[in-house]
């Protein structure tokens, strides 16, 4: 895999640099306001009380400016926390969007990979979501804690150098102690992600074949397997909590030790006339306020481990052995696909398509029919080389493994990938160099050109996350247009006409036939236009 397509943790902040810098700055200001509020309040209350004990001093004490500063700190703390959450969530969501697009683009450029299996899709989405923990739970907490610790130590030094010399060591140790959990935290987090993935499979796979498991009296075995995975995951999460809790307890003891040293040295400074009681109280409360910034550090390396595990799996999923691919030949027209006694099953499934045989040549249209649950989509995945299969499958007389399939097979699954990008950007994921004229041609081929022209932004129309701004039928046709732009000679389509009226379906089907006149078109659908000539293949009992 090229370095360009690799996901590197150190580059996660670069895609939304401005948003992350704003979030970090707002969080830093918020924590400064929180510590200042605590320290100033302690100083003000004690100083006002001492002034009240001395009648003469009470008349000269300035109550208004300190009170105004305290109110300002309270406002900054509340508003800053809200603004920091907004900006960090905006940056995190933007990062997730960039990662999804980047991962899909890498997969689209690769040879056929098992992207569209349910397990792989769930794994892809969950791993991408884990990567935002690096800036939110690792980088930001450490940056804030280190910066604020320096400010608090500087504040002590300005009050009295002796305060710094006596209490700084426990504070530094409290800052350093989470680093000792680095290796253990990362290992536990990586084990957690592996176990969570296994638990997810143990949960979802039996549900997909519930009826068969009940008939074969195997349901109890599957529930016992799920309970075991769940128990293992709970034990791992308990170990993570224990590690985090132990680190937090040690930090609290060190903060307490620093507070004792601060008070002892501060008392001597007060007796020597070098410090006042209100200022000592402000120094002590600043230390307690610093504790808020240090607490998240105990979980930071667990979050780092989750991000590392997610990065490794995503890089593995989008990996391409380019050297191997480049040595393999590209199949040339005319094309001939021969399938002999092919059988395939989803992982953990009790049944699937069995003993499927057929031959297709350039220009052929094949309709795969069968009742729901018979395995039509499973068969299409096997033909797309995304699912292990038994039996013979030859392209131009050679096994699929003989060919370089990156630009040969095009597969449209039932689950689509539409991103919060413009219409043009979504389409160009299939052909990055496509001109606007080519984009309009493909939109016309899938009967979406009139709709796109009616939009104010036309090709720049933003489709929303997961295609939320368009209907399900429009999203499916956009994905189909993107696939057509890639110009694959072997086209495998799973329910491409879902939700389409008869007239639109006929238009799209004729466009598909024109594009695939020199290739092979295989469709899973419950219906095709009546005036189209095709060969049918039945899976299961019709």
Instruction: Report the CATH number that the domain containing residue 143 is assigned in CATH.
Output: 1.20.1560.10
Asked whether residue 389 falls in the same domain as residue 355, the answer is yes
Report the share of the chain in percent with pLDDT over 70: 80
Q: Is residue 20 part of a domain?
A: yes
Q: Is residue 331 part of a domain?
A: no
Last residue within a domain, chosen from 268, 289, 317:
317
459 vs 440: CA distance, rounded Å: 9
pLDDT confidence of residue 181: 85
Q: Which of 366, 367, 501, 474 is nearest to 416 (CA)?
A: 474
- Give the single-character DSSP code of 54: S
Asked whether residue 41 falls in the same domain as residue 181, the answer is yes
Q: Is residue 330 part of a domain?
A: no
Local confidence band at 253 (pLDDT 50, 70, 90 cut-offs): very high
Mean pLDDT of 239-248: 89
Asked whether residue 353 falls in the same domain as residue 286, the answer is no
Q: Is residue 64 part of a domain?
A: yes
In terms of residue numbers, what domain contains 508? 336-538
Q: What is the pTM of this model?
A: 0.62
Asked whether residue 146 falls in the same domain as residue 252, the answer is yes
Number of domains the chain contains: 2
Asked whether residue 42 falls in the same domain as residue 171, the answer is yes
CATH number of the domain at 369, please.
3.40.50.300
Helix (H, G, I), strand (E, B) or coil at 353: coil
Last residue within a domain, chosen from 252, 283, 317:
317
Q: Is residue 113 part of a domain?
A: yes
Question: How many separate helices (H) and strands (E) can be counted in the chain?
Answer: 19, 9
pLDDT confidence of residue 254: 92
Local confidence band at 323 (pLDDT 50, 70, 90 cut-offs): very low
pLDDT confidence of residue 504: 81
Residue with tokens 């013979």: 392
Last residue within a domain, chosen from 288, 317, 346:
317
Asked whether residue 352 falls in the same domain as residue 310, the answer is no
pLDDT confidence of residue 118: 47
Does the pLDDT at position 316 exceed 80?
A: no
Asked whether residue 24 falls in the same domain as residue 144, the answer is yes
Ramachandran region, residue 171 (left: φ > 0; alpha: ψ -120 to 50; beta: rest): alpha
Asked whether residue 301 falls in the same domain as residue 416, the answer is no
């Amino acid at each position: 895999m090229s370095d360009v397509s690799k996901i590197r943790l150190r580059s996660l902040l670069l895609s939304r640099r401005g948003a992350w810098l704003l979030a970090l700055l707002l969080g830093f200001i918020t924590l400064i306001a929180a510590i200042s509020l605590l320290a100033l309040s302690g100083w003000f209350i004690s100083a006002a009380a001492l002034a009240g004990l001395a009648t003469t001093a009470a008349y000269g004490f300035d109550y208004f400016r300190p009170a105004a500063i305290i109110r300002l700190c309270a406002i900054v703390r509340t508003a800053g926390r809200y603004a920091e959450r907004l900006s960090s969530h905006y940056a995190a969501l933007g990062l997730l969007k960039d990662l999804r697009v980047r991962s899909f683009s890498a997969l689209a450029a690769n040879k056929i990979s098992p992207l569209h299996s349910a397990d792989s899709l769930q794994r892809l989405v969950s791993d991408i979501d884990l990567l935002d923990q690096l800036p939110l739970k690792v980088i930001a907490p450490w940056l804030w804690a280190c910066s604020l610790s320096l400010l608090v130590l500087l504040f002590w030094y300005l009050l009295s150098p002796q305060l710094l010399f006596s209490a700084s060591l426990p504070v530094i140790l409290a800052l350093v102690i989470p680093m000792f959990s680095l290796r253990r935290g990362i290992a536990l987090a990586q084990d957690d992600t592996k176990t969570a993935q296994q638990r997810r499979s143990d949960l979802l796979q039996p549900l997909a074949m519930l009826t068969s498991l009940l008939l074969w009296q195997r349901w109890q075995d599957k529930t016992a397997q799920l309970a075991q995975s769940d128990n293992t995951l709970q034990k791992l999460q308990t170990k993570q909590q224990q590690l985090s809790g132990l680190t937090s307890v040690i930090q609290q003891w060190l903060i307490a030790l620093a507070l004792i040293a601060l008070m002892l040295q501060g008392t001597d400074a007060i007796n020597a006339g070098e410090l006042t009681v209100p200022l000592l109280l402000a120094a002590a409360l600043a230390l307690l306020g610093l504790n808020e910034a240090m607490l998240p550090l105990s979980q930071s390396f667990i979050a780092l481990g989750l991000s590392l595990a997610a990065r490794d799996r995503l890089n593995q999923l989008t990996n391409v052995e380019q050297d191997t691919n480049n040595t393999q030949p590209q199949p040339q027209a005319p094309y001939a696909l021969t399938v002999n006694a092919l059988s395939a099953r989803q992982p953990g499934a009790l049944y699937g398509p069995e003993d499927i045989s057929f031959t297709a040549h350039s220009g052929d249209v094949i309709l795969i029919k069968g009742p729901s649950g018979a395995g039509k989509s499973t068969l299409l995945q096997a033909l797309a080389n995304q699912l292990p299969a038994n039996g013979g499958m030859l392209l131009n007389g050679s096994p699929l493994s003989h060919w370089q399939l990156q630009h040969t097979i095009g597969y449209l699954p039932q689950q689509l990938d539409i991103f919060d990008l413009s219409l043009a950007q979504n389409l160009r994921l299939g052909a990055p160099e496509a001109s606007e004229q080519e984009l309009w041609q493909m939109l016309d081929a899938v009967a979406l050109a009139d709709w796109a022209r009616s939009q104010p932004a036309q090709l720049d129309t933003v489709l929303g996350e997961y295609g939320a701004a368009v209907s399900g039928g429009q999203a499916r046709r956009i994905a189909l247009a993107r696939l057509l732009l890639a110009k694959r000679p072997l086209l495998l389509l799973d329910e491409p006409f879902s939700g389409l009226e008869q007239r639109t379906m006929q238009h799209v089907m004729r466009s598909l036939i024109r594009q695939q006149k020199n290739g092979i078109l295989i469709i899973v659908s419950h219906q095709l236009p009546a005036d189209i000539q095709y060969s049918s293949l039945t899976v299961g009992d019709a």
